[in-house]
Amino acid sequence: MAREVQESRVEIPDATPEGSRRNLRVAGCGVPNATAGRENSCKETDNMMEAVVEHKNMKRAYRQVVSNKGASGVDGMCTEELHTHLQDNWVRIKEELLTGRYTPQPVLRVEIPKPDGKGMRKLGIPVVVDRLVQQAIHQVLSPVFDPGFSESSYGFRPARSAHQALLKAREHVAKGKRWVVDIDLEKFFDQVNHDVLMSRLSRKVKDKRVLRLIRSYLQAGIMEGGLVSQSIKGTPQGGPLSPLLSNIILDDWDKELDRRGHCYCRYADDCNIYVGSKRAGNRVMESISRFLERRLRLKINKEKSTVDRPWKRTFLGFSMTWHKVPMIRVAHRSLLRFRSNLKESFRRGRGQNLQKFVEEIKPLLRGWINYFRLSEATRIFKELDGWIRRRLRCIIWRQWKRSRIRARNLMKRGLPEEQSWRSATNGRGPWWNSGAVHMNLAFPKRYFDRIGLVSLLDNVVMFQRNS
């Protein structure tokens, strides 16, 4: 039978809800395996769209989109409904992609608070089908562009992380580059020039259908308050393709810094350039500003960008000490934000069972320490652990309510009767009592370890021993 009419069977991933695991039949694209050796095939042919819709690539994209979950777009479809939708519509969608007639839907505008608490960050949530197609495009384009990216670029790249950027930044400072040109681009994702971006894409992408599809994603429009507005610039944060596109357009910036021989680390639109003096830093800031405005049509955020000492600045939530060989530490703003988030959780936990509440905050604690465990200044983790335990003791004291109950429970925890009654009737408030000797004796660290509370200090010490 001719290859054109052959069909390939793709198993629905395990992420599909139980009872709906059926086989999705898609028409074979008639091209070699696009996931293996994709870099060469895409560079040498104009058939990149065939690689995008190839069944193994789409299967991988499907798994990624379903595992990411995420909010619904303007059509209200959730990831759980994607399987059924593809069964009914994949043949049509694939034909539209291959013939260049596929039209993306507008993205849904969502605003979330920025990490620093100053203003709101605008996200654009594509519909689930568009997320699937974007993910498939990303998987084809990434092996083509990523090998050519700079070694000093760390954001949104395979096998690269924020921790690697921080270690490299510390290395630059230890070598004597003790001034930093801290550059932050003003509303970068909202200001990307479409023509500049498409010209960078066309350097390696020769398939006109792929280029037209990416431009149609850029210009799909934004729905906000029930109204759709036209997109004339920017690449909305929230889609799988947006991070790769940001690296593609900023690669010219990296290449310029490499050409000038600068020591720098860039993560997305956050870039630190390390120099030997403040005078050199001011000169770099001025020349780089001109380059970004003229070549990439981007502007530097003057409020957030400056020339300063590295230990006075924050990079990816971290800072460093002033020593000749600096130590990485958690930035003060990151600590304040973490404590603020925990305070909200503790307010909600006042009436809950303590062990259940500890299980509820465990993911928050683990997620935070898994990121900040790179910090070599560990005293702050000991202080945070003590503060968290005191907050939990405060919840316990509030739940006991009456003096008689407090005295009885303190005695159950092993305190002498006289001390228990004196502590229970001292007339002090919950916060004072939570830090007092009697509550520390009644609920020591080992008690919280036993009920499953994550110790930040213990996790950091264990990580440093294993490193």
> Is 132 within 8 Å of 65 (Cβ atoms)?
yes
Amino acid 17: pLDDT: 37
- Residue 195 burial (CB < 10 Å; 0-12/13-18/19+)? exposed
In angstroms, what CA-CA distances link 420 with 130, 178, 372, 427, 444?
A: 64, 56, 39, 13, 16
pLDDT at position 113 over 80: no
Tokens found for residue 210: 């792929």
Amino acid 122: pLDDT: 75
pLDDT at position 23 over 80: no
In the predicted model, what is the mean pLDDT of residues 86-96?
94
Dump pLDDT digits (tens) for 314-328. Answer: 999 999 999 999 999
Q: Mean pLDDT for the chain?
A: 87
Amino acid 112: pLDDT: 75
0.95 cut: is pTM over it?
A: no
Amino acid 239: pLDDT: 86
Residue type, 95: E
Amino acid 39: pLDDT: 46
Please, which pLDDT band fits residue 119 given cuts at 50, 70 and 90? low
Least confident stretch, 134-138, 205-209, 220-224, 279-283: 220-224
Residue 255 to residue 78: CA distance in whole angstroms: 40
Residue 423 to residue 431: CA distance in whole angstroms: 13
> Is 349 within 8 Å of 359 (Cβ atoms)?
no
Tokens found for residue 271: 């870039």
Amino acid 48: pLDDT: 93
Secondary structure of residue 67 in the 3-state scheme: helix
Dump pLDDT digits (tens) for 141-168. Answer: 999 999 999 999 999 999 999 999 999 9
Amino acid 352: pLDDT: 85
pLDDT at position 58 over 50: yes
Amino acid 29: pLDDT: 38
pLDDT at position 45 over 50: no
Q: What are phi and psi of 416, to 5 degrees?
A: -60, 155
> Is 362 within 8 Å of 437 (Cβ atoms)?
no
Amino acid 1: pLDDT: 36
Secondary structure of residue 230 in the 3-state scheme: coil
Pairing of strands 107-113, 222-224: parallel
Dump pLDDT digits (tens) for 194-234. Answer: 999 999 999 999 999 999 999 999 988 888 777 777 777 77
> What percent of the chain lies above the pLDDT cut of 90?
69
pLDDT at position 5 over 50: no
Amino acid 117: pLDDT: 58
Residue 415 to residue 429: CA distance in whole angstroms: 20
Least confident stretch, 27-31, 39-43, 436-440: 27-31
Secondary structure of residue 13 in the 3-state scheme: coil
Which residue is associated with the tokens 């335990």?
A: 389
* pLDDT greater at residue 8 or residue 270: 270
Closest listed residue to residue 349, CA positions, set 413, 412, 393: 393
- Residue 153 burial (CB < 10 Å; 0-12/13-18/19+)? buried
